[in-house]
Amino acid sequence: MNHLFSPTRVASFKHVREEEARTMMAKIEKAAKKSEPVDISELMLTFTNSVVCRQAFGKTYNEDGEEMKRFIKILYGTQSVFGKVFFSDFFPITRYVFDDLTGLTAYMKECFERQDTYLQEVVDETLDPKRVKPETESMIDLLMEIYREQPFASEFTLENVKAVVMNIVVAGTDTAAAAVVWGMTYLMKYPKV
């Protein structure tokens, strides 16, 4: 796993971060010229999604395209499941009663199935020999290489590949965007800092 986050690997994605930052700044400049407000939360979420998707999947999503909308819906669903309070977390014996009655179990399964279907499509696309390789090897490319070579003592499965990719994506989007939004809020509240 050192391959994923080594200083060399992080540096190889520098152009991705720079390109996406320029795109974000162009949006801000366009809004400023028209004296329009900018939703920093939405802008930062779009920015972090774009950067993380390019690094993780090796492809650019059209911000208003169907694939990005689908991805965002899956991402929000996954994040909302993480934020839900399941009765069975506190009282495991109540799982079949409360979590099923409230619909939480069904919602969690639905979110997982959408996520798994999407990630399987990404894995299949990565395995396609006709696929055009991105200019910088993406994280899923590296994970698929690990999957093919099996360098670990225990088996590294496609389920492991999908789990690692989803962890990277979920952890890399909302948390980074939230940190920047809080930082911007602080700077607006205390401009002399």
**Assigned superfamily of 2-189:** Cytochrome P450 (1.10.630.10)
Query: Is pLDDT at 176 greater than 80 in this prediction?
Result: no
Mean pLDDT calculated for residue range 161-183: 84
Q: For 87-107, write each residue's pLDDT tens digit.
A: 888 888 877 788 888 888 899
Q: Which residue has the higher pLDDT, 87 or 2?
A: 87
Sign, CA dihedral 36-37-38-42, equals negative
Q: For 31-74, write each residue's pLDDT tens digit.
A: 999 999 988 888 888 888 888 888 888 888 777 778 888 888 88
Closest CA to 104 of 83, 128, 127: 83
- The domain limits of the chain are 2-189
pTM of the complete model: 0.78
Closest CA to 56 of 4, 92, 96: 4
CA distance 124 to 162: 11
